[in-house]
Amino acid sequence: MRKRTWGVGVLAGAAVTVLGAAAPAALASASAGLAPPPVTVLTARADRCGDIFISPFGDSGTYANGAEILSPDGRTVVWFHAVPAGQEAADFRAQRYEGKPVLTWWQGTGLGGLSAGTDYIYDAHYHQIATVSAGNGYSADGHEFLITPWNTALILAYTTATADLTSIGGPAAQKVIDGIVQEIDIRTGKVLFQWDSAGRVPYSDSEQPLPSSAATPWDWFHVNAVHLDANGNLLIDARNTWTTYEVSPRTGKVLWRLGGKHSSFTLKAGAGQVLDDAGKIFAWQHDPEALGHGLYTFFDNESSGTPELPYSRAVTVRLNFRDRVATLVRSVAQPEGLVAASQGNAQTLRGGALFVGWGALPYFSEFTRSGSLVFNAEFPAGVNSYRAYRLPWSSMT
Protein backbone atom coordinates (compact mmCIF):
# COMPACT_ATOMS: atom_id res chain seq x y z
CA MET A 1 0.00 0.00 0.00
CA ARG A 2 1.34 3.41 -0.91
CA LYS A 3 1.46 5.93 1.88
CA ARG A 4 -1.14 8.65 1.70
CA THR A 5 0.67 11.89 1.08
CA TRP A 6 -2.05 14.48 1.61
CA GLY A 7 -5.46 15.22 2.92
CA VAL A 8 -10.14 14.33 1.76
CA GLY A 9 -18.40 5.51 4.51
CA VAL A 10 -19.60 2.46 4.58
CA LEU A 11 -23.30 1.56 4.12
CA ALA A 12 -25.45 -1.37 3.07
CA GLY A 13 -25.93 -1.93 -0.65
CA ALA A 14 -28.09 -3.69 -3.18
CA ALA A 15 -27.80 -7.34 -4.17
CA VAL A 16 -25.72 -8.23 -7.21
CA THR A 17 -26.29 -10.68 -10.02
CA VAL A 18 -23.33 -12.38 -11.74
CA LEU A 19 -24.12 -13.06 -15.35
CA GLY A 20 -22.45 -14.53 -18.39
CA ALA A 21 -23.27 -15.08 -22.02
CA ALA A 22 -24.65 -18.54 -21.20
CA ALA A 23 -27.25 -17.22 -18.73
CA PRO A 24 -29.90 -15.35 -20.76
CA ALA A 25 -32.68 -16.28 -18.31
CA ALA A 26 -30.75 -14.80 -15.37
CA LEU A 27 -29.92 -11.78 -17.46
CA ALA A 28 -33.55 -11.13 -18.32
CA SER A 29 -34.64 -11.40 -14.69
CA ALA A 30 -31.98 -9.01 -13.38
CA SER A 31 -34.41 -6.11 -12.94
CA ALA A 32 -38.14 -6.77 -13.09
CA GLY A 33 -37.72 -8.84 -16.25
CA LEU A 34 -35.62 -6.21 -18.06
CA ALA A 35 -32.30 -6.99 -19.74
CA PRO A 36 -29.52 -4.46 -20.31
CA PRO A 37 -29.69 -2.65 -23.64
CA PRO A 38 -28.10 -4.50 -26.55
CA VAL A 39 -24.84 -3.22 -27.97
CA THR A 40 -24.23 -3.18 -31.71
CA VAL A 41 -20.57 -3.34 -32.76
CA LEU A 42 -20.13 -1.10 -35.80
CA THR A 43 -16.35 -1.31 -36.23
CA ALA A 44 -13.91 -3.94 -34.96
CA ARG A 45 -10.75 -3.93 -37.04
CA ALA A 46 -8.51 -5.92 -34.71
CA ASP A 47 -8.49 -7.89 -31.48
CA ARG A 48 -8.65 -5.47 -28.58
CA CYS A 49 -7.23 -6.00 -25.09
CA GLY A 50 -9.17 -5.34 -21.91
CA ASP A 51 -12.85 -5.63 -21.08
CA ILE A 52 -15.25 -2.76 -21.68
CA PHE A 53 -16.89 -1.05 -18.69
CA ILE A 54 -20.12 0.86 -19.26
CA SER A 55 -23.10 1.98 -17.18
CA PRO A 56 -25.99 2.18 -19.64
CA PHE A 57 -29.12 4.10 -18.66
CA GLY A 58 -32.20 5.53 -20.32
CA ASP A 59 -35.44 4.16 -21.79
CA SER A 60 -36.04 2.49 -18.42
CA GLY A 61 -39.31 0.96 -19.54
CA THR A 62 -37.48 -1.20 -22.08
CA TYR A 63 -34.04 -1.94 -20.62
CA ALA A 64 -32.46 -2.20 -17.19
CA ASN A 65 -30.07 0.49 -15.97
CA GLY A 66 -26.89 -0.74 -14.36
CA ALA A 67 -23.17 -1.49 -14.36
CA GLU A 68 -21.96 -3.74 -17.17
CA ILE A 69 -18.76 -5.47 -18.29
CA LEU A 70 -18.49 -6.48 -21.95
CA SER A 71 -15.87 -8.73 -23.53
CA PRO A 72 -13.02 -6.97 -25.39
CA ASP A 73 -14.86 -7.26 -28.71
CA GLY A 74 -18.01 -5.75 -27.16
CA ARG A 75 -20.17 -8.71 -28.14
CA THR A 76 -20.57 -10.66 -24.89
CA VAL A 77 -21.95 -9.63 -21.51
CA VAL A 78 -19.38 -10.73 -18.91
CA TRP A 79 -21.24 -9.31 -15.90
CA PHE A 80 -24.23 -7.08 -15.28
CA HIS A 81 -25.53 -5.47 -12.11
CA ALA A 82 -29.02 -4.04 -12.49
CA VAL A 83 -29.88 -1.11 -10.22
CA PRO A 84 -33.36 -0.65 -8.74
CA ALA A 85 -36.05 0.94 -10.87
CA GLY A 86 -35.76 4.71 -10.85
CA GLN A 87 -32.01 4.65 -10.20
CA GLU A 88 -29.00 4.70 -12.48
CA ALA A 89 -25.32 3.76 -12.25
CA ALA A 90 -22.39 5.91 -13.34
CA ASP A 91 -18.59 5.94 -13.55
CA PHE A 92 -18.37 2.13 -13.50
CA ARG A 93 -14.80 0.84 -13.71
CA ALA A 94 -12.13 -1.46 -12.30
CA GLN A 95 -9.80 0.09 -9.73
CA ARG A 96 -7.52 -1.11 -6.94
CA TYR A 97 -8.30 -0.90 -3.24
CA GLU A 98 -5.90 -2.09 -0.56
CA GLY A 99 -3.75 -3.68 -3.24
CA LYS A 100 -6.54 -5.76 -4.79
CA PRO A 101 -8.64 -5.32 -7.94
CA VAL A 102 -12.17 -4.08 -7.29
CA LEU A 103 -15.20 -2.87 -9.20
CA THR A 104 -16.55 0.58 -8.35
CA TRP A 105 -19.53 2.68 -9.37
CA TRP A 106 -21.97 5.33 -8.19
CA GLN A 107 -25.63 4.44 -7.83
CA GLY A 108 -28.47 6.87 -7.22
CA THR A 109 -30.80 9.42 -8.79
CA GLY A 110 -30.56 12.76 -10.53
CA LEU A 111 -27.21 12.48 -12.34
CA GLY A 112 -26.63 15.75 -14.15
CA GLY A 113 -28.56 17.81 -11.59
CA LEU A 114 -28.89 17.87 -7.82
CA SER A 115 -28.11 14.16 -7.62
CA ALA A 116 -28.10 11.89 -4.58
CA GLY A 117 -26.47 8.51 -4.26
CA THR A 118 -23.80 6.21 -2.87
CA ASP A 119 -20.51 4.86 -4.22
CA TYR A 120 -20.04 1.07 -4.18
CA ILE A 121 -16.98 -1.18 -4.02
CA TYR A 122 -17.19 -4.87 -5.00
CA ASP A 123 -14.36 -7.40 -4.88
CA ALA A 124 -13.24 -9.85 -7.57
CA HIS A 125 -15.82 -12.37 -6.30
CA TYR A 126 -18.56 -9.80 -7.08
CA HIS A 127 -19.26 -9.29 -3.38
CA GLN A 128 -19.85 -5.87 -1.88
CA ILE A 129 -17.01 -4.96 0.49
CA ALA A 130 -17.66 -1.25 1.13
CA THR A 131 -19.65 1.79 0.18
CA VAL A 132 -18.65 5.42 0.35
CA SER A 133 -20.98 8.30 1.11
CA ALA A 134 -20.27 12.02 1.13
CA GLY A 135 -19.65 13.68 4.47
CA ASN A 136 -20.68 16.93 6.14
CA GLY A 137 -24.33 16.51 5.23
CA TYR A 138 -23.85 16.17 1.47
CA SER A 139 -24.86 13.34 -0.85
CA ALA A 140 -22.44 11.77 -3.34
CA ASP A 141 -22.81 12.81 -6.96
CA GLY A 142 -22.25 10.32 -9.78
CA HIS A 143 -19.71 12.20 -11.88
CA GLU A 144 -16.65 10.81 -10.07
CA PHE A 145 -15.60 8.00 -7.75
CA LEU A 146 -11.81 7.68 -7.76
CA ILE A 147 -9.82 5.55 -5.32
CA THR A 148 -6.41 7.06 -4.64
CA PRO A 149 -3.17 5.05 -4.39
CA TRP A 150 -3.38 5.55 -0.59
CA ASN A 151 -6.86 3.98 -0.39
CA THR A 152 -9.00 7.05 0.07
CA ALA A 153 -11.83 8.14 -2.22
CA LEU A 154 -12.15 11.34 -4.24
CA ILE A 155 -15.83 12.11 -4.79
CA LEU A 156 -18.11 15.00 -5.77
CA ALA A 157 -21.31 16.51 -4.42
CA TYR A 158 -23.66 19.36 -5.33
CA THR A 159 -25.28 21.74 -2.87
CA THR A 160 -27.61 24.73 -3.10
CA ALA A 161 -27.01 28.16 -1.63
CA THR A 162 -28.21 31.75 -2.08
CA ALA A 163 -25.90 34.32 -3.67
CA ASP A 164 -25.97 38.05 -4.33
CA LEU A 165 -25.42 38.34 -8.09
CA THR A 166 -26.15 42.04 -8.50
CA SER A 167 -22.52 42.63 -9.52
CA ILE A 168 -23.08 40.52 -12.65
CA GLY A 169 -26.59 41.79 -13.38
CA GLY A 170 -28.44 39.11 -11.45
CA PRO A 171 -30.77 39.06 -8.43
CA ALA A 172 -29.68 39.89 -4.91
CA ALA A 173 -30.86 36.48 -3.71
CA GLN A 174 -30.31 33.99 -6.51
CA LYS A 175 -30.46 30.30 -5.71
CA VAL A 176 -27.23 28.68 -6.96
CA ILE A 177 -25.72 25.20 -7.19
CA ASP A 178 -22.17 24.96 -5.87
CA GLY A 179 -19.72 22.13 -6.53
CA ILE A 180 -18.10 20.18 -3.67
CA VAL A 181 -14.98 17.98 -3.83
CA GLN A 182 -14.20 15.65 -0.93
CA GLU A 183 -11.51 13.16 -0.05
CA ILE A 184 -13.01 10.43 2.14
CA ASP A 185 -11.31 7.83 4.30
CA ILE A 186 -13.03 4.72 3.00
CA ARG A 187 -12.70 2.70 6.21
CA THR A 188 -13.99 5.38 8.58
CA GLY A 189 -16.05 7.70 6.38
CA LYS A 190 -14.08 10.69 7.69
CA VAL A 191 -13.79 13.73 5.44
CA LEU A 192 -10.07 14.42 5.05
CA PHE A 193 -10.31 17.32 2.59
CA GLN A 194 -13.10 19.47 1.21
CA TRP A 195 -13.16 22.07 -1.55
CA ASP A 196 -16.16 24.25 -2.41
CA SER A 197 -16.42 26.19 -5.68
CA ALA A 198 -18.08 29.06 -3.79
CA GLY A 199 -15.37 31.45 -2.64
CA ARG A 200 -12.75 29.79 -4.87
CA VAL A 201 -14.18 30.77 -8.28
CA PRO A 202 -16.17 33.94 -9.06
CA TYR A 203 -19.73 33.54 -10.33
CA SER A 204 -18.81 35.83 -13.23
CA ASP A 205 -16.66 33.05 -14.69
CA SER A 206 -19.72 31.00 -15.61
CA GLU A 207 -20.76 30.47 -19.23
CA GLN A 208 -24.19 29.24 -18.12
CA PRO A 209 -26.96 31.84 -18.61
CA LEU A 210 -28.83 33.01 -15.54
CA PRO A 211 -32.30 31.47 -15.10
CA SER A 212 -35.38 33.63 -15.48
CA SER A 213 -36.28 33.26 -11.80
CA ALA A 214 -34.18 33.80 -8.67
CA ALA A 215 -35.88 30.72 -7.20
CA THR A 216 -34.59 28.47 -10.02
CA PRO A 217 -31.20 27.00 -9.05
CA TRP A 218 -28.43 28.36 -11.28
CA ASP A 219 -25.94 25.58 -12.10
CA TRP A 220 -23.13 28.07 -12.59
CA PHE A 221 -20.16 25.72 -11.97
CA HIS A 222 -21.18 22.08 -12.58
CA VAL A 223 -18.19 20.21 -11.20
CA ASN A 224 -17.82 16.93 -13.11
CA ALA A 225 -14.37 15.48 -12.33
CA VAL A 226 -11.61 15.34 -9.77
CA HIS A 227 -8.41 13.56 -10.75
CA LEU A 228 -4.81 13.42 -9.60
CA ASP A 229 -2.22 15.34 -11.55
CA ALA A 230 1.21 13.78 -12.01
CA ASN A 231 2.56 16.07 -9.28
CA GLY A 232 -0.04 14.99 -6.70
CA ASN A 233 -2.23 18.08 -7.04
CA LEU A 234 -5.92 17.85 -7.91
CA LEU A 235 -7.40 18.44 -11.34
CA ILE A 236 -10.95 19.72 -10.81
CA ASP A 237 -13.12 20.21 -13.86
CA ALA A 238 -16.12 22.53 -14.20
CA ARG A 239 -18.25 22.16 -17.29
CA ASN A 240 -20.09 25.46 -16.95
CA THR A 241 -17.01 27.66 -16.59
CA TRP A 242 -15.20 25.84 -19.46
CA THR A 243 -12.27 25.47 -17.08
CA THR A 244 -10.04 22.85 -15.51
CA TYR A 245 -8.44 23.94 -12.22
CA GLU A 246 -5.18 22.75 -10.69
CA VAL A 247 -5.85 22.80 -6.94
CA SER A 248 -3.58 22.28 -3.95
CA PRO A 249 -4.86 19.31 -1.91
CA ARG A 250 -3.37 20.89 1.21
CA THR A 251 -4.72 24.43 1.03
CA GLY A 252 -7.48 24.27 -1.60
CA LYS A 253 -5.84 27.16 -3.47
CA VAL A 254 -6.34 27.31 -7.24
CA LEU A 255 -2.84 27.08 -8.68
CA TRP A 256 -3.71 27.48 -12.36
CA ARG A 257 -6.65 27.49 -14.75
CA LEU A 258 -6.89 26.05 -18.24
CA GLY A 259 -9.64 27.41 -20.46
CA GLY A 260 -12.53 29.65 -19.56
CA LYS A 261 -12.50 33.41 -19.10
CA HIS A 262 -9.29 33.62 -17.06
CA SER A 263 -6.98 30.94 -18.39
CA SER A 264 -3.49 30.92 -16.90
CA PHE A 265 -2.27 29.81 -20.33
CA THR A 266 -2.36 31.34 -23.79
CA LEU A 267 -4.24 28.92 -26.04
CA LYS A 268 -2.92 27.88 -29.44
CA ALA A 269 -3.52 25.19 -32.03
CA GLY A 270 -0.68 22.91 -33.05
CA ALA A 271 -0.05 21.67 -36.58
CA GLY A 272 -3.22 20.36 -38.18
CA GLN A 273 -5.40 21.28 -35.17
CA VAL A 274 -8.17 23.85 -34.78
CA LEU A 275 -9.54 25.88 -31.89
CA ASP A 276 -13.30 26.17 -31.67
CA ASP A 277 -15.41 29.14 -32.74
CA ALA A 278 -14.84 30.79 -29.35
CA GLY A 279 -11.06 30.48 -29.78
CA LYS A 280 -10.91 27.77 -27.12
CA ILE A 281 -9.32 24.33 -26.94
CA PHE A 282 -12.48 22.97 -25.31
CA ALA A 283 -15.96 24.05 -24.21
CA TRP A 284 -18.47 22.37 -21.85
CA GLN A 285 -15.75 19.75 -21.31
CA HIS A 286 -15.31 16.69 -19.08
CA ASP A 287 -12.65 14.34 -17.74
CA PRO A 288 -9.20 15.98 -17.53
CA GLU A 289 -6.54 13.26 -17.39
CA ALA A 290 -2.85 13.87 -16.67
CA LEU A 291 -0.49 11.82 -18.85
CA GLY A 292 2.72 13.30 -17.41
CA HIS A 293 5.37 15.53 -18.98
CA GLY A 294 2.86 18.37 -19.39
CA LEU A 295 0.38 16.34 -21.47
CA TYR A 296 -3.33 16.20 -20.64
CA THR A 297 -6.40 14.76 -22.33
CA PHE A 298 -9.96 16.11 -22.16
CA PHE A 299 -13.34 15.11 -23.48
CA ASP A 300 -14.38 18.20 -25.44
CA ASN A 301 -18.18 18.32 -25.67
CA GLU A 302 -18.25 21.66 -27.53
CA SER A 303 -21.93 22.06 -26.70
CA SER A 304 -24.58 22.24 -24.04
CA GLY A 305 -27.22 22.76 -26.70
CA THR A 306 -25.66 25.34 -29.05
CA PRO A 307 -22.39 23.95 -30.49
CA GLU A 308 -19.11 25.87 -30.63
CA LEU A 309 -17.92 23.18 -33.04
CA PRO A 310 -20.36 20.93 -34.93
CA TYR A 311 -18.88 17.78 -33.37
CA SER A 312 -17.50 16.58 -30.05
CA ARG A 313 -13.93 15.34 -29.77
CA ALA A 314 -11.22 14.03 -27.49
CA VAL A 315 -8.28 16.42 -27.27
CA THR A 316 -4.68 16.22 -26.06
CA VAL A 317 -3.06 19.39 -24.77
CA ARG A 318 0.58 20.16 -23.99
CA LEU A 319 1.14 22.72 -21.22
CA ASN A 320 4.33 24.76 -21.25
CA PHE A 321 4.52 25.93 -17.64
CA ARG A 322 7.51 28.20 -18.22
CA ASP A 323 5.95 30.19 -21.06
CA ARG A 324 2.35 29.61 -19.92
CA VAL A 325 1.24 28.32 -23.31
CA ALA A 326 -1.31 25.54 -23.87
CA THR A 327 -1.06 23.87 -27.27
CA LEU A 328 -3.69 21.59 -28.77
CA VAL A 329 -1.53 18.79 -30.18
CA ARG A 330 -4.06 16.08 -31.02
CA SER A 331 -7.79 15.60 -31.48
CA VAL A 332 -10.09 12.80 -32.58
CA ALA A 333 -13.59 13.67 -33.67
CA GLN A 334 -16.80 11.79 -32.96
CA PRO A 335 -16.95 9.18 -35.76
CA GLU A 336 -20.49 10.03 -36.85
CA GLY A 337 -19.72 13.77 -36.74
CA LEU A 338 -22.16 14.31 -33.87
CA VAL A 339 -22.07 16.55 -30.83
CA ALA A 340 -22.60 15.30 -27.26
CA ALA A 341 -24.42 17.95 -25.26
CA SER A 342 -23.39 16.32 -21.95
CA GLN A 343 -21.21 13.65 -20.31
CA GLY A 344 -18.27 11.77 -21.88
CA ASN A 345 -14.66 10.74 -21.22
CA ALA A 346 -11.39 9.97 -22.99
CA GLN A 347 -9.11 7.25 -21.61
CA THR A 348 -5.52 6.89 -22.83
CA LEU A 349 -4.50 3.27 -23.30
CA ARG A 350 -1.06 1.70 -23.50
CA GLY A 351 0.71 2.74 -26.67
CA GLY A 352 -1.21 6.00 -26.94
CA ALA A 353 -4.54 4.61 -28.12
CA LEU A 354 -7.70 6.39 -26.94
CA PHE A 355 -10.91 4.81 -25.67
CA VAL A 356 -13.74 7.34 -25.76
CA GLY A 357 -17.21 7.30 -24.23
CA TRP A 358 -19.34 9.76 -26.15
CA GLY A 359 -21.54 10.69 -23.22
CA ALA A 360 -25.06 11.72 -24.21
CA LEU A 361 -24.53 10.07 -27.59
CA PRO A 362 -25.17 6.30 -27.74
CA TYR A 363 -21.60 5.39 -28.79
CA PHE A 364 -18.21 4.33 -27.43
CA SER A 365 -15.09 4.06 -29.58
CA GLU A 366 -11.38 3.32 -29.71
CA PHE A 367 -8.72 5.05 -31.81
CA THR A 368 -5.09 4.19 -32.47
CA ARG A 369 -2.31 6.61 -31.58
CA SER A 370 -2.48 7.91 -35.16
CA GLY A 371 -6.24 8.50 -34.90
CA SER A 372 -7.54 5.50 -36.86
CA LEU A 373 -10.88 4.16 -35.66
CA VAL A 374 -10.44 0.49 -34.64
CA PHE A 375 -13.55 -0.04 -32.51
CA ASN A 376 -16.95 1.59 -32.48
CA ALA A 377 -20.16 0.41 -30.81
CA GLU A 378 -23.68 1.75 -30.40
CA PHE A 379 -26.52 1.53 -27.90
CA PRO A 380 -30.17 1.68 -28.94
CA ALA A 381 -31.63 5.17 -29.33
CA GLY A 382 -32.39 6.77 -25.98
CA VAL A 383 -29.61 4.90 -24.12
CA ASN A 384 -26.17 6.19 -23.20
CA SER A 385 -23.38 5.75 -20.65
CA TYR A 386 -21.90 8.65 -18.68
CA ARG A 387 -18.38 7.26 -19.19
CA ALA A 388 -16.88 4.18 -20.88
CA TYR A 389 -13.58 2.46 -20.15
CA ARG A 390 -11.42 -0.35 -21.50
CA LEU A 391 -9.67 -1.99 -18.54
CA PRO A 392 -8.11 -5.31 -17.53
CA TRP A 393 -10.32 -7.44 -15.32
CA SER A 394 -10.22 -11.00 -14.04
CA SER A 395 -12.92 -12.20 -11.67
CA MET A 396 -12.43 -14.95 -9.09
CA THR A 397 -15.79 -16.67 -9.52
Would you state the pLDDT for residue 396? Answer: 87
CA atoms within 13 A on the CB side of 140: 30
Phi and psi, residue 73, nearest 5° = -85, 0
**What is the second-level CATH architecture of the domain 24-391?**
6 Propeller (2.120)
Would you state the pLDDT for residue 61? Answer: 86
| DSSP per-residue string spanning 32-74 | TTBPPPP-EEEEE-S---SEEEEEEES-TTTS--EEEEE-TTS
Q: Which residues of the chain have pLDDT under 50?
A: 1-30
Would you state the pLDDT for residue 14? Answer: 29
Going from N- to C-terminal start, the domains of the chain cover 24-391
* Ordered strands of the 51-57 beta sheet: 77-82, 66-70, 51-57, 384-391
pTM, two decimals, is: 0.92
